[in-house]
Structure 1
Amino acid sequence: MKIRSIHIYSHDGRRRDLSFHDGLNVITGRSSTGKSALSDIIEYCMGRSTFNIPEGIIQERVSWYAVFYTFEGEEVLVAKPAPGPGRSSCSLAMVRRGANVTVPDFDDLTVNDDDEGVVSLLSRRLGIPENTTDVPIDNSRESYDANIKHTYFYLFQKQTIIANKDQLFYRQNEQFQPQTIKDTLPILLGVSSRDRFSLESRLRAAQRELRLNTKLLEEAKSAIDTSEERAIGLQSEARAVGILPASSAADAKIVDRLREALTWKPTSVPEDDGGRITGIENELVTLREQRREIQRRLDAAEQYARRADGFQTEVVEQHDRLTSIKALPINKATGEWQWPFAEANLALGSPIAQLLLADLESLDREMNAVVGERPQLDAYLDEQRRELQTIGEQIRAKEVELSSAIATSEVIVQLGNRNNAASRVVGRISLFLEGLLPETELARLEKEQRRLKARVADLEQRIGADDSGARLASTMNNISMHMSGYIAALGGEFSQYPARLDLHNLTVALDRPGRPIFMQRTGGGENHLAYHLAALLALHRFAASQKQPLPRFLLIDQPTQVYFPSEASYEAAGGSIEKTEQDADLEAVRRLFELLDRFAREDAPGFQIIVTEHANLRNPWFQEALIEHPWTKPPALVPEDWPDLAELAD
C-alpha cells in the first residue's frame, strides 16, 4: 500500500493535486505553507474520524480531501468532506476502487461509505489477517482485532516526535496507545499467522465448551449427592398438605411417589359471597325485636295482674265482711228477707233507704266483676308466655344456623389456603423432577469431559503456545539486526554497540557490555533522530522483505531541524539551497537524505518515503526527489485565490 496522490477541493469546485512516486519524495519550503498538514490529510483519509488538520487557511478554504492508495493490481480512492462548522470530526466518506481510478471532479464527490467501511477495505487490501489480540484472561482490557489504524504508529514521524528522546512512535504518548502498540505489532509482523488465528479461535471455542461441560458435570454430581435428601423433604411436604397419603407402599421408589403428586388436582372451593350470613343476621335482629316487644307486653300484663290480685283480695275481704253481716236486706240467690233486726221491707222505699241500697248493690257488682275478669287475664298471660317461648326457640335456631354459616366460611378460606400451599409444593416437585438427571446423563457428561480435554490438549500442542514468545524475540532480533548500521550512517553515538527495538519499553536500547543504554538517557537531537530513523527503517525493512501487512510508505516531518544551529535559522532556510548551505551542518543533512534515498532503492526496493522539509540540497538526485518547487506564498498547499465560506456567502 502506497500513496499515488493527494487532492484537495475548494468550496467553488477547484482542485489542487500532489503526485508521489516510489522512493524518496521531498516537499520543501517556508513555514506555514501546509507541508505538515499532509500527514493529517493522509491519516484522515485512512479512516480516522478525528479532524486534526490545523486551524487557518486549510480548514477555511478546503471542502473535500482525497487520497489515492495503490495496491498490487488495484487503486483505491478515499475522499472525505471537511467537518461542518463547529465540528471536530467526520466519519462520512466516498470510496472508489478499480484497476484505473480517475480523479473525480468536484461535482462527482458524494458520500457512499463511512470510516468503518474505509478501515475494513484498507485492512483487507493491505492483507492484515483475521486476528485478535492476545489478552490474558485475568486482564481488565478486552481483546480486539488489529486493523489499518494500528499501522499509524509506524507511518508518521511528525516534527515534535522525530527527535523526541521520550517518544519513539506516533501517538505513543496518548492514553492506552502504548499497550495497543505492544498488542498489535506482533500481529502486523506475522508472529500471529492466519493459521495460528484459526487454531486459536478453535482453541477458545473448545475451552469454552470444556468450561461449560465441567460446570454441568459438577452440577450433575452435586445434584446426585443431594437429590435423595431433597426428594425425602419434598415427600414430607406433599404429605403435610394432603397431596400424598400419610403412608405409601414400602416397595415404591420415592421418585415414583413424587411423580404421583404431579397428578394432584385442587379441591373445588364453593363460592361464598357473604349474603347468607348477612340474611341470617338480619332475621336474628327481627326476631330479637319481636321478643323484646312480647316481653314488654308480658311485663305490663303481669304488673296489671299483680295490682288486680291486691284489689281482688281487698274486695273479697270486703265482700265476705258484708256477706257475714248480711248487708243486703234480701238474699239475691233465694229472695228471702235476711235482716233480723228489721221487719220485712221496712221503710225500703224511702229515699235514704234507696240510696243506701244502691251503694250496696254497686259494691256487690264490683266484687263480682273482679272475680269474673281473672280468668281472661290468666289466659292472656299464658298466651304471651307461649309466644315468648316460640320466639326464643326461633332465635336459638337462627343462632345455630349463623354459627354454621360462619364455620363454613372459615372452612372455605382454609380450603383455599390448602390448595395454594399444595400448588406450591407441586411446583417444587415438578422443578425437582425436571432437573433430576437420568442415570445415563452422568456417564455421558464424563465421556464428553474426556473428549473435550483431549481436543484442547491437541489444539494447544498444534498451536505451540509456548513458542510465541520465542517467535516474537526472533522477529525483534531480525528487525534490530540493521539498526546499528543505520545509527552509524547517521552519525549517532554508541553505534559500536548492538542496537535493538525494545518493544517492552517502546524505545531504542543499545546493548553496551554491563548495562544497556536507553534512548531517553542519551543526549543530543542528532542522536535521537538517528535512533528514531534506525528503528523505523529497520522495522519497515523487515516488513517489506517478509511481505508483512504494513503500508510501504513513511512520512517524516522536518527531520533536518537538528542539524541547524537554531529553530529560527532552520525556518529561515525556507527551501533555499543557499540558506541551507550557509546555516546547516551540510554533511549531516546530505548524509540523512542519502540514507533515505538508498533505503528506498536498495534496502526496501519500491518503498516510498515522503519528507517535508525546510532544507534544500543542490544534488541532482535530491532535486529529482522534489515533488514541486519549494513552497513559498505562493505556491503552497492551498492556493491564495481560493475563497473561504464567508467570501462565498457574500
Structure 2
Amino acid sequence: MKLFIKEIVLWPEDSRNSVLSIPFATNKINVIHGRSRTGKSSIIAIVDYCLGATRCAIPVGIIRDNVRWFGLVLEINDEEVLIARRTPGDRQTSKEFFIDPNFDTIPLSLDTTHNELQFKQAFNNLVQLTNLPLTDGQDIGRFDGRPSYRDLAAFNFLPQHIVANPNTLFFKADSYEHKERLKRVMPFALGVIDNEYLLKEREKSQLQRMYDDLVKQREVLLRSMKAWDADIKRHWDDAVELGLAAESDAKTTETRIEKFGELNRLFLQDGLKSVLQTPNFVYTNERYKDAMKKEIDLQKLVDSHRREVRGLEQLSSRADSFKNAVKLEQNRVVNFDWLKSRIGGDNECVVCGSHTNQLSDVISHLDTEVNRVNVLAKALFENPVVDKEIEASKSRLRQASAELHTTRVERNRLQTIDAATKDSLSRVYLLIGRIQSALAAVATSNNTDDLSNRIDVLSKQLNDLNSYFLTSGKSQREAKVDSHLSGLIDIYAEGFGLEKRGSIKLDKNELTLSFRFDENSKKEYLWEVGSGANWMGYHIATFLALHEFFSSDELKNTPVFQFLIIDQPSQVYFPSAASGANDLDKAGDEIKNIIANRNEDIEATKKIFEMLAEGLRRSSNRYQIIVLEHADASIWGHCKDTVEAANWKSADGGLIPHDWILSKVMR
C-alpha cells in the first residue's frame, strides 16, 4: 500500500499558539535526534494513535496537557489526506476523529467529523481495504476474523522496547491477543493468500460452525430417541397384554411406533374395538419370569464384583503395611558401610578393642541381611496392586448395580399389576393416552431426517471449500515466499556482520526468527542467539527484508503501509542511564572525545544507518524510514538519502515547543 507520512501535526491546547508541523521526506531516512525526554519515543505512539489504535500510549503530562489534537498528513496513492484525533486528556482514549481527503492547507482548529467506527470505515475506503472487516468479528471467533488495517501496524513500528528484544520481533506481539491476530494476518500481508482465499476461509469458518451445531442437535435428538426406546418397548408389552397388538406384529422400535400410530388413528375414529383381542396374560407372566431370572443373575454378578473390589482393597492395604514394615527395618540399619570400613585386618572389635576371629562371620551375615532388606525395599517401592485395577473393578460394580436397579423396577411394575382390572377398558384408555404422548415425543425426535439433509448440504459445501484450499497452491507460494524472505534477511544480516547460526527463516508460528544448520539439526530461535547487537541487527535486518519484499512489483497491492519507524537502535552501543542521560547527547569537545575513544561503538552505530540506506537503495526508495535517535549528523550525516527531520538537542528543544509550555504556565 503506497502510504507515507508527510507530516506530523499538533494543534495546541492554547489557541494563541501556532500549529506545529514536523515534515518528512517520503523516500528517505528521516532522523529526529535529541536528548532524552524530549518526546522522541512519543512519535510512534502519536502515529499509531492517529491511525486508530485502541489505546493511547502517548505519555501523560506535558504532551497530552499541551496538545488538543494529534494529526498526520498522509500521502495515499499520490493524494494527500489529513487525519487527526483529539487528545484523550484525562480519559483512556478518545473516539473523536477528523478526516479531510481534500484539504489545501492545515486548518488552525478542528471539529470532530467521525467517531471511531466511522473513521475506520472511511480509512478503509481511503486505503482501498473496504472488503476487510473493522473488528475481529464475534460471529467467527476472537482471532479468526479477516484482517483489518490495524493488524498490519506490526510491520511499521520498531519501538525502543522491541528493537533489541530477544523475545519479541514484532510490535505488540508481546501480548497474546495481538500475537494471534498477527499470526493469522501474516499470510495475507505476505501475499501467500488473497482476498478470495480470505473470503473462503471465513465462509468455511461459518459453515463449519453451522455444521457442528446441527450435528450436536442431531446427537441430542438421537439420544432422546434412545431414551424413548425403553418407553416404547414397555408400552408395546402393555399393548400385547391388553390385546391391542400381537407379539409378532412388530419387532423393532420403528415398526412398533408405526403400529401405535395405527392404534391412535383407530381410537380417534372410534374404531378401537375392531382390533381389540383377548388379553394375553401369559405374555405378562413370561415377562415377569424373565425379569426375575435376570434380577437373580445380576444380583450374583453384583455380589461377585463387590467381593472382587473388597479383596483388591484388602490386598492393597496389606501391601502398604508390609512396605512400611520393610522401610522401618531398613531405617534401623545404622550406616553398615561405615561399620565394615572400621573393621581392621586384625579383627579388632570396634566396641571393646579385644581381638577376635568371629567378626568376619558376623559382618558377612549382617551384609546378607542388609542386602535382603534393600532388595525388598526396591521391589516394594511401588504398590504391587495397581490403583487402576481397583478403579476398573469399581466401575464394573457400578454398571452392574445400575442394571440391577433397572431390572428390579421393571419386575416391581409387573408384580403390582392388579389382576382384577386386567380385562377392563380403563387400562386400555390409559395406555392409549401414554401412546399418544410417546408419539408426540417421537414426532419431535424424528426431526433428525431434516437435520440430516441440512448436514449433508453443509458437508458438500465444506468438501467443495476443502477442494479449493487443496488446489489453491498456498503451500507452494508459502515455500517460495519463505525462501525469498530468508535470502533477503541473510543479505542484511551479512551486511551487519551478525553471528550466523545456519540458515535463517521467519517463523510465522512463533513470530520470530529461527536458525538451523540442516534438516537434522535442532532449530534455534532468536532468543537463543546472544548479545544485544545481534538482537538489534536481526530485528532491523528482518524489517528491511520485509519492506524490500513489500516494495516489489509483485506485491504492489500489498495492504502493508510503506513506512518504517525505528526508535533508538543505537541503544545497544550507547544505553541510556537510569536518569535518561546518554553519551550521544553531549556536544562540542565531549562528543569529539567519545568519537575518538569509543571508535568501535561509533562505527557500529554508523553501520546501522548505512544498512538502512542500503535497504532503501535495494528497494529503489519505495518506502520511508523514520529514525528516532540520540545520534546526530556527526554519525549518520555521511549516509546517502539520510536527512534531519528535527533536532531537539538544545536546552529548550523537544516535541512540545518551549513557548507552548510557558503560555500554559502564564495562563
TM-score grouping bracket, smaller chain normalisation: 0.5 to 0.7
Equivalent position amino acid for 2:183 in 1: K
User: CA deviation digits over 1:425-479, x for unaligned, max 9?
Assistant: 59836734753759xx95x776666555444322211121896555434322221
Matched, 1:95 2:98: yes
Matching residue within 5, 8, 14 for 1:6: 8
Deviation at 1:530, TM superposition (A): 1.2
The answer as to whether partners of 1:572 and 1:579 remain within 8 angstroms in 2 is no
Q: Distance in 2 between matches of 1:249 and 1:544?
A: 83
Q: Distance in 2 between matches of 1:232 and 1:518?
A: 65
Alpha carbons of 1:221 and 1:541: their partners in 2 closer, same or farther (altered >3 Å)? same
Alpha carbons of 1:223 and 1:468: their partners in 2 closer, same or farther (altered >3 Å)? same
Alpha carbons of 1:156 and 1:134: their partners in 2 closer, same or farther (altered >3 Å)? closer
The answer as to whether partners of 2:154 and 2:170 remain within 8 angstroms in 1 is yes
Equivalent position amino acid for 2:24 in 1: F
Q: Distance in 2 between matches of 1:122 and 1:134?
A: 17
The equivalent of 2:629 in structure 1 is: 613
Deviation at 1:207, TM superposition (A): 4.0
Equivalent position amino acid for 2:101 in 1: G
The equivalent of 1:485 in structure 2 is: 491
Matching residue within 441, 466, 469 for 1:463: 469
Equivalent position amino acid for 1:490 in 2: F
Equivalent position amino acid for 2:544 in 1: L
**SS in structure 2 opposite 1:541?**
helix
Matching residue within 616, 632, 637 for 2:650: 632
Deviation at 1:638, TM superposition (A): 0.8
Matched, 1:145 2:146: yes
Matched, 1:593 2:609: yes
**SS in structure 2 opposite 1:492?**
coil
Equivalent position amino acid for 1:594 in 2: E
Alpha carbons of 1:423 and 1:577: their partners in 2 closer, same or farther (altered >3 Å)? farther
**SS in structure 1 opposite 2:645?**
coil
The answer as to whether partners of 1:617 and 1:623 remain within 8 angstroms in 2 is no
Q: Distance in 2 between matches of 1:253 and 1:20?
A: 86
- Summarize the alignment of residues 338-357 of structure 1 with structure 2, pairs less than 5 Å apart: none
Deviation at 1:538, TM superposition (A): 1.0
The answer as to whether partners of 1:554 and 1:610 remain within 8 angstroms in 2 is yes
Deviation at 1:534, TM superposition (A): 0.6
Q: Distance in 2 between matches of 1:433 and 1:262?
A: 19
451-460 or 230-239, which deviates more: 230-239
Matching residue within 36, 42, 45 for 2:47: 42
Deviation at 1:607, TM superposition (A): 0.2
- Summarize the alignment of residues 79-90 of structure 1 with structure 2, pairs less than 5 Å apart: 79-85=84-90, 87=91, 89-90=92-93
Deviation at 1:52, TM superposition (A): 1.7
What is the TM-score normalised by the length of structure 1? 0.62
Q: Distance in 2 between matches of 1:511 and 1:458?
A: 38
The answer as to whether partners of 2:585 and 2:649 remain within 8 angstroms in 1 is no
Alpha carbons of 1:541 and 1:445: their partners in 2 closer, same or farther (altered >3 Å)? same
Deviation at 1:90, TM superposition (A): 1.4
Deviation at 1:22, TM superposition (A): 1.5
Equivalent position amino acid for 2:500 in 1: F
Deviation at 1:599, TM superposition (A): 2.0
Deviation at 1:486, TM superposition (A): 0.7
**SS in structure 1 opposite 2:656?**
coil
The equivalent of 1:543 in structure 2 is: 550
The equivalent of 2:171 in structure 1 is: 170
The answer as to whether partners of 2:264 and 2:432 remain within 8 angstroms in 1 is no
Deviation at 1:17, TM superposition (A): 0.6
User: CA deviation digits over 1:356-392, x for unaligned, max 9?
Assistant: xxxxxxxxxxxxxxxxxxxxxxxxxxxxxxxxxxxxx
User: Over alpha carbons, which structure has the higher Rg?
Assistant: 1
The answer as to whether partners of 2:5 and 2:72 remain within 8 angstroms in 1 is yes
The equivalent of 1:305 in structure 2 is: none
Alpha carbons of 1:644 and 1:148: their partners in 2 closer, same or farther (altered >3 Å)? farther
Q: Distance in 2 between matches of 1:95 and 1:237?
A: 79
The answer as to whether partners of 1:36 and 1:612 remain within 8 angstroms in 2 is yes
**SS in structure 1 opposite 2:25?**
coil
- Summarize the alignment of residues 157-306 of structure 1 with structure 2, pairs less than 5 Å apart: 157-208=158-209, 210-211=211-212, 254-259=260-265
Alpha carbons of 1:120 and 1:423: their partners in 2 closer, same or farther (altered >3 Å)? farther
Deviation at 1:103, TM superposition (A): 2.1
Alpha carbons of 1:422 and 1:509: their partners in 2 closer, same or farther (altered >3 Å)? closer
Q: Distance in 2 between matches of 1:167 and 1:217?
A: 46
The equivalent of 2:586 in structure 1 is: 572
The answer as to whether partners of 2:143 and 2:181 remain within 8 angstroms in 1 is no
In structure 2, the gaps of 5 or more residues are: 250-257, 271-426
Alpha carbons of 1:154 and 1:247: their partners in 2 closer, same or farther (altered >3 Å)? same
Q: Distance in 2 between matches of 1:510 and 1:574?
A: 44
Equivalent position amino acid for 2:565 in 1: L
The equivalent of 2:536 in structure 1 is: 529
Q: Distance in 2 between matches of 1:26 and 1:94?
A: 28
User: CA deviation digits over 1:232-289, x for unaligned, max 9?
Assistant: 766999999xxxxx8779999531432466799xxxxxxxxxxxxxxxxxxxxxxxxx
Deviation at 1:34, TM superposition (A): 1.4
Matching residue within 18, 24, 48 for 1:20: 24
Deviation at 1:41, TM superposition (A): 0.5
The answer as to whether partners of 1:574 and 1:615 remain within 8 angstroms in 2 is no
The equivalent of 1:356 in structure 2 is: none
The answer as to whether partners of 2:261 and 2:439 remain within 8 angstroms in 1 is no
Alignment RMSD (CA, Å)? 4.5
Deviation at 1:168, TM superposition (A): 2.0
The equivalent of 2:398 in structure 1 is: none
Deviation at 1:613, TM superposition (A): 1.3
The answer as to whether partners of 1:153 and 1:171 remain within 8 angstroms in 2 is yes
What is the TM-score normalised by the length of structure 2? 0.61
Q: Distance in 2 between matches of 1:95 and 1:262?
A: 74
The equivalent of 1:472 in structure 2 is: 478
User: CA deviation digits over 1:10-46, x for unaligned, max 9?
Assistant: 1122311111121211111222221111111111111
Q: Distance in 1 between matches of 2:225 and 2:522?
A: 63
Q: Distance in 2 between matches of 1:255 and 1:488?
A: 83
Equivalent position amino acid for 2:54 in 1: S
Q: Distance in 2 between matches of 1:133 and 1:66?
A: 23
The answer as to whether partners of 2:31 and 2:628 remain within 8 angstroms in 1 is yes
The answer as to whether partners of 1:162 and 1:557 remain within 8 angstroms in 2 is yes
Q: Distance in 2 between matches of 1:556 and 1:544?
A: 18
**SS in structure 1 opposite 2:586?**
helix
The answer as to whether partners of 1:7 and 1:65 remain within 8 angstroms in 2 is yes
Q: Distance in 2 between matches of 1:166 and 1:205?
A: 35
Alpha carbons of 1:531 and 1:209: their partners in 2 closer, same or farther (altered >3 Å)? closer
**SS in structure 1 opposite 2:485?**
helix
The answer as to whether partners of 2:584 and 2:591 remain within 8 angstroms in 1 is no
- Summarize the alignment of residues 409-424 of structure 1 with structure 2, pairs less than 5 Å apart: none
How many equivalent pairs are there? Answer: 480
Q: Distance in 2 between matches of 1:447 and 1:174?
A: 43
The equivalent of 1:67 in structure 2 is: 72
Deviation at 1:641, TM superposition (A): 1.4
215-224 or 502-511, which deviates more: 215-224
The equivalent of 2:108 in structure 1 is: 105
Q: Distance in 1 between matches of 2:642 and 2:204?
A: 54
Q: Distance in 2 between matches of 1:68 and 1:575?
A: 39
Alpha carbons of 1:586 and 1:645: their partners in 2 closer, same or farther (altered >3 Å)? closer
Deviation at 1:230, TM superposition (A): 5.4
The answer as to whether partners of 2:569 and 2:629 remain within 8 angstroms in 1 is yes
Q: Distance in 1 between matches of 2:503 and 2:14?
A: 56
Equivalent position amino acid for 1:92 in 2: K
Q: Distance in 1 between matches of 2:526 and 2:452?
A: 57
Deviation at 1:541, TM superposition (A): 1.8
